[in-house]
Structure 1
C-alpha cells in the first residue's frame, strides 16, 4: 500500500516560509489532492518516443512452460497468484532508420531479477535468475543507454525475469527513444520512488526522534505519584519511526532477512503505524478515556495482530487477497475515524491543530485508497505509490501542536513570572517596612539600654559616692577633706560615665587616654607623679561597648585605690600588645597591702568585672610596690 514520495517538499517549505500554518497547510493539501489522480490513467507518448506494450512471453511456473502473447505491463502476482516462476519476454520492434547517436531504453519496473538483451547483446543483468527469494531489483526504475550500432531496423529485445512469490515481480511498459525524451520519464519516477522516499525517511526519522525526546524529557511535576509524561509525543514519535521502516523498504534491494520474512516487516510496520497514529489522533481529540476511545484502541490492536496474519498469508502462502483485504480494512477504519474526527472538529470548533490532524487523516485515507486501487485492484504496474507523502502532514501537524503548546507554555511562564515578580515586589516592600520597623525598634531598644546603663552607672558610681557623702554628713564627725574627696570621686565617676558614651568599641588606647585626661589633674594635686608607658595598641573587635565600660570601671577602681589608700608618690601605667591581646599594668610605690588576705569589696568587684568581659586580673603587693595586671583579648580569658 505504501511505496513513494511528493515532489512538493521544496514548495511546501517555500510556502511555509512566506505564510503562517494555514498557508502552507493549504499548499500541502492542494499538492496531496493532486496526487490522487497522478498517473492513474495512461497518456500517449510524445513524438519520437517508442512505447512498447506487447510481448511474446514464455512463462514457466512449477516446471510447466507456456508461450503466448501478453500485454504490458505484466504483473506476475496478478497473473499467477501464490506462485513463483520465470518468464522470457521477446519483444520485436521496428525503427524507421538506424540511429546515428545512442538511444535510451527505460523500464519503470522489471524483476525481481532480470537480464536484458538487444539483438543478442547483453545490456544489463541484475540478480540470480535461478535462485528464488534473493535480492529484489524490481524496486527501482531502470534506464540504459544503448550504442547506435546495436540497433537494426527490425529489433529483438529479450528480457528474462525471475518472479518471487508475493513480491510484485513482472515487467512494465518499455520506452525507447532519444535521451531528451526518455530521461524526464526516468527522472520523474526516480524522484517519486527514491529521492522523495529518502526525504520522507529523513523527515519522519527527525520528527520521530524529536517526539520521543520530548516524551522522555517533558515530565509533569505538578501532580504527586509516578512520573507522568505526555503520551501524545510517544504515539507520534513511534508512528513516525514505524513509518520510516515502512518507507525504507523501497530502497533496500538486498534485505537483511530472507524472503518472505522480510516481506512481512513493512506490513507489520504499517500496522504498528496505524495503531500509533490512531492513538495520537485520539490524544489530540481527547477521546482516550471515552468509551469510544477504549473500543477503537481494541480495534487498532486487532488490526496490528491481523497484519501479521495477512502478511503470512500473502507473502508466505501466496494469498494476496488477504493482504488486499487487510489494506482495505485499515483504510476503511481511518476513513470512518477521519469522518468522525472531522465532524467533531467542525461541531466543537476545535483549535487549528485538530483541523490539521483531521485533514491529514482524510488525505492519507484518500491517497491510500488511490494506491489500493492502483496496486491491488487495477491492472497497473510501474506506477508510484503516494501514500508515504501524506504522512508528512502528520509530521507537520505534530510540529504545529508542539509550537502551539510551546507558545502556550511560554505565555503561561511569562504570566507566572509576572505574577512572581509582583509577589516578590510586594514581599520586598513588606520586608522593607518590617526592616524599618525592626530598625526603629532596635534603635529604641538601644536607647533604652543606653539609658539603663547610664542610670545603672550613676547608681553604682555617682549614687554610691553621694550616699557615702550623705552618711559622712549625717555622722557629724566627717572631716571636710574626706567629704571633698568623696565628692571629687563622684564627679570623676560622672565624667567617666559621660566619656563612655563616645568610646569606640575595642579601642583600649582611647579608653586609657580618657582616664588620663580625667584623673591626671587629681594625681598631680595629690603629689603623685604619673609615668605613662602606653604603646600603640591594636583595636580588639571582640571588646564591645559593654566590655569597654566594664574595663573602664576596673581601671578607675585601681587608680582610685592609689589615690585614696596607697600613700604613693609615683604611679606608672603600662599597656602593650601581647599574644593577640592587650596587657595593662598599674604600678605604684605606696605602702601596699596583704595580697593573700581575703580581697576587699573593691578587689572582688574588679576581679568579677574582668571575668565578666573575658579578661584576667592579677595583683601583687608589698611595701613600696603594688602591681595590678589586667589581660584582655584572645587567649587571656
Structure 2
C-alpha cells in the first residue's frame, strides 16, 4: 500500500495537538477540606431535592427577578441546610443517557446541588474569584454563593441552557461578595436541575482568581467553539471554489459532490454558529436537521471518494441514498412519542459510517489508489472521533474531553485536498507525457517528411534532367541533326560545293554553341545572355562583311528566365541574324534593347533590300518562331519594305503572372512561301 507519509505526519501532528489541548490536569488529593486557589476540585458535596414542574418554573422565574447583590431566593428553593442531606461525591458525576422516553411519574425533576469550599491563598485574597467547569450537561444551571445575608445567585444560564452542553461554565464572583469571606472558606453551590430519569454530566471544577483560570477557559473555548467556527467558514470558501469548478467542468461530478459534502458539514455544525431555538418544537427540528445531515455528510464523502477509482459502484450509491432518505424520514421529530428519535438518528449515522467505511476499505484495497487510501484513512480516523463524541454524548466516558468530530472535518478535507492535488499533478504528468510523445511523433514525422522531401527533390531533379535531355535531343534533332543530315546526303550525292558545306558546318557549330550557352546559369540576366550571343556570332558577322551596332542597355532581371527559355530567345535572335546574312544583302545590322516598364524590347534592324510584306509567305522557320514566342509569353513584330531594310521587335514580359499563351507574330500575312520572308 502506497500513500503519502506527509499526510500521515499531518494527521499525527493534529492528533498530538488535540491530545495536548484536551489533557486533564493531574488529580488532587480528594480529602482536602477546601479547594485552594487555582486547584481542581475532584470532589464536591452533593444534595438532591425533588422538584415538580411548577417548582422548577418558580425557580427560574425567581432567578430572573433577582438583583444578585441584594435580593434573596425563596427559602423553599435554597440548598438544604441539614448536614445529613449532603454527601460527598466524586467528580465527574455522570448519568448515562437512557433509551426510554418514559419520564412520567411524581416529582418529575430533581435539583442537584454541588457544594464547593474555596480557600484563598494565605498571602492574598483575590479581588475576583471565578468558578470554571469544562462541561455541565443538564437544564439551565445556576451558581450561588453563601453570604452573611444568605445565598446569593451570581450566575444564571437560562439564556444559554441549550448550548451549555458544548460551552464551558464560567461564573465570576463579584468582589463585593468575596470581601465578605476574606479570611474564611467560601461556600459555592452549583445548582443543576435535571429530569428524574434524564441524563446529566457535571465535570470537575476549578476555583481561583479570574486571571489564573481565564487562559484555561479561552483555550477550551478556542478548541471547542473557535475551531469548528473557523472550519465552517473554510468549508464555505471551499464549497464556493468547488462549485465554480463544477460549473465550468460539469462532466466531472466530483466537484459537485465536494460542494454538497461541504454544505452538509456546515449544516451539521450549525450549533457552533447559531444560538439554538428557544421553542422546544423548533429545537427538536433543529436537532433533527443537524443529526440527519451527518448521514448525508458521510454518504457524499463516500461518493466523492469513489470518483478516484475507474469503476462506478452505482448499487452502493443507490442503496446509500435510499437508506439515508428512509432513516431521515423515520427519525422525524413527529415520531418522538414512540421512541427517542435522537438515539435512532445516531444509530442510523453509525450504520452509515460503519458500513460505508468498511466498503471503502474494500474498494481501496482492490484499487490500490493512493488518493483513495488517503481519504479512507481520514474516514477511519473520522469514524473513531465520531465514536468518541457519541460516547461523550451518551455519558459512556471521557466526560471532560472536547468534542473531536469538528477536527475530523479538517482531516477529511485535508485528504480531499491531497486527493485533488494528486489528481491534478497526475493530470499534469499525463499532459507532459502526452506532449513528449507528441514531440517524438512530430520529430519522427518531420524526419520522414524530410526524407520524403529529399526523395521528391531527387525525383524532380531527375525529371528535370530527363525533360532537359529530351528537349535538347529534340532541338538538336530538328536543328543541328537535320542540317548535318541534309549536308551529308548532299555531299554523298556530289550536289553541294565545298564552300556551301563549310557554311553549313559553321552554322551547325554556331547552333551547337548556342545550345551549350543556354545550359549555363544566366541568373535571370538577359543582357549577359545577349553578350554571350554577340561573342559567339561576332566573327561570323564580320566575316560576311556586316557591321554590328550594339546598343544594349541595362534591363531588369527576368524572374522566369531559365535555360530552356534562354535557348528560345537565342534561337529567335539567331534566326533573325541568319535571315540578315542570307537574304537581306545588308551592310549594317543593329541590335538594341529598351525597358518598357512591365516589358522589355529587343530590336534587330538591318539596312538591307527588305521585302514586300504583302507578297511574303510564312515558311517553316517563321512557324518555329511563332511557337517560341508563344512559349516565352511575348510578342514578335516584323516590319519591312523593299529597299528600306527590315526591323524585328521582340517584346518579353518582365514577370509572368499567369500563363501567357497569346503571344505571336504581327506584321505578316497569314500565308507565305517557304524560304521567303523573315527578319
- Normalising by structure 2, report the TM-score: 0.70
Given that 1:215 and 1:233 are in contact with CA atoms closer than 8 Å, whether structure 2 keeps it comes out as: yes
**Alignment CA distance shift 1:236-1:137 (3 Å):** same
CA distance in 1 between partners of 2:140 and 2:638 (Å): 119
Q: Which runs of 5+ in 2 are unaligned?
A: 60-76, 81-88, 104-108, 661-679
Q: 1:573 to 1:633 in 2, by over 3 A?
A: same
Higher relative contact order (CA 8 A, sep 6+): 1
SS at match of 2:474: helix
> What do the CA deviations read for 1:159-195 (whole angstroms, capped 9, x no partner)?
99999xxxx9999887542235312321232221233
User: Which residues of structure 1 form unaligned runs of 5+?
Assistant: 1-15, 219-226
Please give the residue correspondences for 1:83-102 in structure 2 after superposition, counting only pairs within 5 Å: 95-96=118-119, 99-102=125-128
CA contact (8 A) 2:240 2:259 kept: yes
Matched, 1:301 2:319: no
The answer to whether 1:628 aligns with 2:655 is no
Q: Distance in 2 between matches of 1:537 and 1:89?
A: 123
Match of 1:183 among 214, 220, 235: 214
Contact 2:116/2:189 (<8 A) preserved: no
Give a deviation string over 1:573-631, Cα, whole Å, max 9, x none. Answer: 12222223322222222222333554333223222211122112222222324222222
Cα-to-partner distance string for 1:433-492 (whole Å, 9 max, x where unaligned): 434433333333333223222212211221232244345546755455444333222111
The corresponding residue for 2:620 is 601
Secondary structure, counterpart of 1:573 in structure 2: strand
Q: Helix, strand or coil for the counterpart of 2:331?
A: helix
Distance 1:392 1:91, change over 3 A: closer
Q: 1:200 to 1:494 in 2, by over 3 A?
A: same
Aligned equivalent of 2:260: 238
1:198-597 matched pairs, under 5 angstroms: 198-201=229-232, 204=235, 229=252, 231-232=253-254, 234-247=256-269, 249-253=271-275, 259-260=282-283, 265-283=289-307, 288-289=312-313, 294-295=315-316, 297-307=318-328, 310=331, 312-313=333-334, 321-342=340-361, 350-376=368-394, 384-405=402-423, 409=427, 416=434, 419-470=437-488, 472-473=490-491, 476-596=494-614, 597=616
The 1:151–1:502 alpha-carbon spacing in structure 2 relative to 1, beyond 3 Å, is same
Say if 2:252 is the partner of 1:194. no
Deviation at 1:522, TM superposition (A): 1.6
Q: Which has the larger radius of gyration?
A: 2
In the TM superposition, what is the alpha-carbon distance from 1:512 to its structure 2 partner? 0.8
Give the conservation status (yes or no) of the 8 Å contact 1:274–1:300. no
Q: How many angstroms does 1:539 deviate by?
A: 1.3
Looking at structure 2, the residues matched to 538 and 161 of structure 1 have their Cα atoms a distance apart, in angstroms, of 115
Which one is further off, 178-187 or 467-476?
467-476
What SS class does the counterpart of residue 183 from structure 1 fall into? Answer: helix
Q: CA distance change for structure 1 residues 606 and 104 in 2, over 3 Å: closer, same or farther?
A: farther
CA distance in 1, matches of 2:520, 2:373: 82
Written as runs of structure 1 = structure 2, the 5 A alignment for 1:4-153 is 20-25=6-11, 47-49=36-38, 65=58, 67=77, 95-96=118-119, 99-104=125-130, 106=132, 141=168, 148-149=175-176, 151-153=178-180
The CA deviation at 1:372 is: 1.8
CA distance in 2, matches of 1:585, 1:330: 108
User: Against the structure 1 CA distance between its residues 254 and 485, is the aligned structure 2 distance closer, same or farther, given a 3 Å change threshold?
Assistant: farther
User: Residue 151 of structure 1 aligns to a residue in which SS?
Assistant: helix
Whether the aligned pair in 1 keeps the contact of 2:295 and 2:348 (CA below 8 Å) is: no
CA contact (8 A) 2:608 2:645 kept: yes
- TM-score when scaled to structure 1? 0.74
**Range with bigger deviation, 555-564 or 599-608:** 599-608
Structure 1 CA distance for aligned equivalents of residues 473 and 546 of structure 2: 32
Shift of 1:561: 1.6
CA-to-aligned-CA distance 1:375-400 (integer Å, 9 cap, x gap): 24569988632112223333333344
C-alpha distance in 2, partners of 1:502/1:307? 98
Q: Does structure 1 conserve the Cα–Cα contact (< 8 Å) formed by 2:143 and 2:189?
A: yes
Matched position secondary structure for 1:384? coil
